[in-house]
Every structure is written in C-alpha cells, then in structure tokens.
Amino acid sequence: MAFKSSSSYTDAARLVLQRCDQLGSYSEEADRRTRRYGTDAMRQVNEAVKGWMLAAGMQPRQDAIGNLVARYEAATPDAKTLVLGSHLDTVRDAGKYDGPLGVLVALACIERLAARGQRLPFAVELAAFADEEGLRFHTAYLGSSVFTGRLPPEALDLTDLDGVTLREAIRAFGGDPDALGIAAHQRDELLGYCEVHIEQGPLLEANDLPVGVVSGIQGQTRVAISMTGVAGHAGTVPMSLRHDALAAAAEYMVAVERTAQNTPELVATVGQLVVEPGASNVIPGRVDFSLDVRHPDDLVREKALADLRAEVQAIAERRGVSVAWQMVSDQPSLRCSPQLIQLQRDAVTAAGHPVLMVASGAGHDAVTMATLTDIAMFFVRCKGGVSHSPAESVALEDVAVAIEALERFILLLASGGDAT
Ligand SMILES: [Zn+2]
C-alpha cells in the first residue's frame, strides 16, 4: 500500500491547523469565540468548509437542519458508506479545536485520497454537524439527531433566550423543519461512523502519546435537586432551631465527593447551585443544585445513584429539610465497535505508536450516531487536557499522527483489515 512520506502528514496537519485558525476567527461575539446553532458565525464556518469540500471534488449539501454533508464516492455505485465527522458549533468562550479538528482531519484524509485519485470499495461521507454543544436551545446533539432521523418533533418548540423557536431558527438557517424526520441513511447502507476529537482529558498527555483509541462513552445521569428548609434572620434564629437548606446541601456535596472517591472510575459533580433568598444576613431557605454522575459501567452508575439518592434523603431528614429529586437525563454507556477498534489499533500500531484505550468521559456526536450504525473514535492529545476554553491547544505533530491513523484506519477497512 503506497503511503506518502511522513512529511506529507505534517504538511496536511499544518493546513488543518491553519483552517482551525480560520474557523476560530468566526464568532458571534467580538471578544470571545462563540458559535451557536443558526448564527451568522455558523453560516461563515459552513461557507468556508463548503469551499474546501468543493475544492476536494465533493458536492456538499446542507441538510434539513444545516449539517454540512459531502460524499467522496466509492469505486462502484451502490457501495456502502463510511461516515466521518464532528461538529462546527461551539460552547461560549470556546477554543479552536473541539469539533472543527475532527471535521478537518477527516477532510484532510479525503483530500489525500482525492489527490491520489484513489477510490475505495465504499463511499466516505463527511458530516459537519451544525449543533452538538446545544448552547442555543439547551439540548445536545441537534445536528446528529437530524442526521439519524431521531429529533423528536416537540423539540421544534424549544426556544432560545430571545424567544426564537428551533423551528424558526431552522428556517432562518435555510433548513426545512418539516423534513427533519428523515434519516440520511438506513442502517444497512452504512459501515460505521468514525470521529476524531480532542481528548478533553489528561490521559494521553500523562502517557506521552499523540492519539488514543476510544473504548466507549461512559453513561451519564443528570439530576436536578432542591433542598427546602426555613429561611430566617441570621442574627435572631439560634443554631439549634435552624433548618438551613444550604448547610444541608453542603453536607450532601461532601458526601457526593466521598462516594465518587471511594468508587473506582466514578465521577460525580455538583456544578450549579442557586441559593434562595441569597443574602448574607438570611439563613438560606432553599437551594437548587445539579448532580452529574458518570461511569463506564451502567450498573455501577445506577448503584451509585441509588446510594446518592438515599444519602440526600437521610441528610434532609436529619436536618429537617425537604428534598426533591428530579431526573433530567439518563444516558446509558456506549461501547465502540470491537471490529472497528481492532482496525484502529492496527492503524495506530502501523503508524508507529503504542495503543492506549481511553473511555470517553464526555458525550459526542458518536452517541447519537450509535443509534444508526457502529461507532469508533480517535482522541488527540490536547495540552493539559483542557477543552471548552480558549486555552485549547494541540501540537502539529499530534495532528499529523491523527491524520495518519485515520487514513490507515480507512485503508485497512478498505482492504478488509489486511495490514500488508
Ligand atoms: Zn466536541
């Protein structure tokens, strides 16, 4: 199999980073990088990526919600399709690589195929999703939910902070809210979905490795908890007569941390807290807070949740406050395809690097794509494991390895897994 010299991976990586810089300049806010679904900034990234897809000889289209989709056709018609992709929207005050890197590494591999005039026994389809982070409508994976035909119709009534509905936003972005229910593909048309993404964690850096192979995406439960006690005067109510909702919540938060520390691989976070009435001289009467619990094994996560629910009730009872527990979302863990993982391992090994398997702590478009086809992911080392921040940083050499690993993976799939 004829590979170009390793320096050409570096050249391709340099172009990927230049393009990340360019896309990173498109923002709806002047002083920070923010691209919500349907904004002018999203229009600008789609235009730029569309131009690069066209230059690679593909015919890009925008689907019903505005995902940018382009195909590199197979050697023969009616062949199956391998989907590559990631997202082009961002969180608020984002970095340049979460999302765009995956789209542009995949594009680099397609450009290399096109430059060689090499057609494969399957089509390669690049999907640049228009909403993964869910910043505008507070729901994740809008883009890939439309691609897979899984967006519930009631989602169209969601509104953003300005009162604009998703239905209106889709129309304004040139999409068609009445055509959302149609999946881009049937399951039997697809070979799988492979996504490249920055790691968003410290394991690759700690192991001094440029890329990793994702074993799966851990399950995640989000709960909204309210503790209600009795507000009162901070000077006149003696300690023995208080029902302080914040003190109860604080005790519970320490218990959450302890439970996670004592359970291997469990992570649990209280990240949001609203104190009522929230004055320095008033005993807190009510506290609303979030609980986020994740683990690769669903049974361990479910057991931990049951324990944490019993714990909050015990603390509330002892302190004479009431508690409400509302499940917000409950996402089971996902395993990446063992067959695709084997090809990824062979690809990384052939590129000259040890293989590290990593469980993804964050959700990705692959979560939704798994409802339609087999999924696979490569992680790329990012500096300090930092993401969702302008401090996101990746190294040129690591991006070159990511391009090589993805290319070798695609070619291994094309040759039926034969590494020779
Ligand atoms: Zn992402």
* Segment 54-112, tens digit of pLDDT: 999 999 999 999 999 999 999 999 999 999 999 999 999 999 999 999 999 999 999 99
Distance 381 CA to ligand 1 centre (A): 14
* Segment 349-401, tens digit of pLDDT: 999 999 999 999 998 999 999 999 999 999 999 999 999 999 999 999 999 99
Distance 88 CA to ligand 1 centre (A): 9
Of 372, 304, 285, nearest to 82 by C-alpha is: 372
pTM of the predicted structure, to 2 decimals: 0.86
* Segment 179-203, tens digit of pLDDT: 998 899 999 999 999 999 999 999 9
* Segment 247-275, tens digit of pLDDT: 999 999 999 999 999 999 999 999 999 99
Q: Does the pLDDT of residue 225 top 90, yes or no? A: yes
Question: Would you state the structure tokens that stand for residue 235, as one six-digit string?
Answer: 């000077």
Distance 91 CA to ligand 1 centre (A): 9
Amino acid residing at 244: D
Distance 364 CA to ligand 1 centre (A): 6
Distance 235 CA to ligand 1 centre (A): 49
Distance 101 CA to ligand 1 centre (A): 9
User: The tokens 């209106």 sit on which residue?
Assistant: 168
Quick one: pLDDT at residue 418? 64
pLDDT band with cut points at 50, 70 and 90 for residue 5? very low
* Segment 305-360, tens digit of pLDDT: 999 999 999 999 999 999 999 998 898 999 999 999 999 999 999 999 999 999 99
Distance 99 CA to ligand 1 centre (A): 4
Distance 283 CA to ligand 1 centre (A): 41
Distance 89 CA to ligand 1 centre (A): 9
* Segment 117-174, tens digit of pLDDT: 999 999 999 999 999 999 999 888 999 999 999 999 999 999 998 999 999 999 999 9
Quick one: pLDDT at residue 7? 58
Distance 241 CA to ligand 1 centre (A): 49
Distance 252 CA to ligand 1 centre (A): 31
Distance 304 CA to ligand 1 centre (A): 27
Quick one: pLDDT at residue 181? 85
Distance 24 CA to ligand 1 centre (A): 14
Distance 195 CA to ligand 1 centre (A): 10
Distance 321 CA to ligand 1 centre (A): 39
Sign of CA dihedral 368, 373, 374, 376: negative
